[in-house]
Amino acid sequence: MRTWVHRRYGLAVLFAGAALLMASARADDAAERQILGKWLTQDKDGVIQISRSASGRLEGRIVGGEGADDKNPDPALRGRPLNGAVILQGFRYAGDGRWADGTIYDPDNGKTYKCNMQLKDADTLSVRGYIGVSLFGQDQLWTRKKE
């Protein structure tokens, strides 16, 4: 009888753990859907479309910009149009409306920085580019583009 009780208890714990993992995955998916879409940069001079890449991580592509990528450190990319260029890459959801482990490319100077993002509310995204550690960085507030 004791073995039967232990098995039953073990199965209950297993099912409860699986239910918690599924609920957590649904919460992560819901949070990710909140960040997807078009965002106006802080200066309102660019529109970035955030979407899921083929790798499953988030990326951001310029969809409302003009000009060429003249400052790109790769000479082969210097003439490419900025419209369509991927500037955000590699973001994973870190919980609590935060995304980490990504990079941001600044076409104004041709440099790529480490980057974290955090939703402040449904229509405000804090984007922090930095070198080394996040303490040495700069924040920009992007606003959701209304269609």
Residues 75 and 139 in one domain: yes
Supply the range of the domain harboring residue 98: 36-144
From CA 62, how far away is CA 85, in angstroms rounded? 6
31's enclosing H/E stretch is helix 2-35
Predicted pLDDT of residue 1: 54
Which band of pLDDT confidence, cut at 50, 70 and 90, is reported for residue 11?
A: very low
Q: Is residue 22 located within the same domain as residue 46?
A: no
What is the widest separation between alpha-carbon atoms in the chain? Answer: 76
> Do 80 and 126 share a domain, yes or no?
yes
Residues 80, 110, single domain; the answer is yes
Q: pLDDT, tens digit, for every residue of 75-121? A: 999 999 999 999 999 999 999 999 999 999 999 999 999 999 999 99
On whether both 9 and 64 belong to a single domain, the answer is no
What's this model's pTM, rounded to 2 decimal places? 0.78
Number of domains in the chain: 2
CB of 145 within 8 A of CB of 39?
Answer: yes
Domain of residue 125, CATH code: 2.40.128.520
My answer on whether 30 and 75 are in the same domain is no
Q: Specify which residues 48 forms β-bridges with.
A: 39, 62
Residues 40 and 68 in one domain: yes
One domain, residues 20 and 84: no
What per-residue confidence (pLDDT) applies to 27?
A: 47
Whether residues 62 and 8 share a domain: the answer is no
pLDDT at 100: 97
Amino acid identity at 101 = D
Residue 22 has pLDDT above 50, yes or no: no
* 127 and 64 together in one domain: yes
Residues 5 and 43 in one domain: no
Residue 68 shares a structural domain with residue 5? no
The structure tokens 């309102």 sit at: 44
pLDDT in tens, 27-86: 456 767 899 999 999 999 999 999 999 999 999 999 987 899 999 999 999 999 999 999
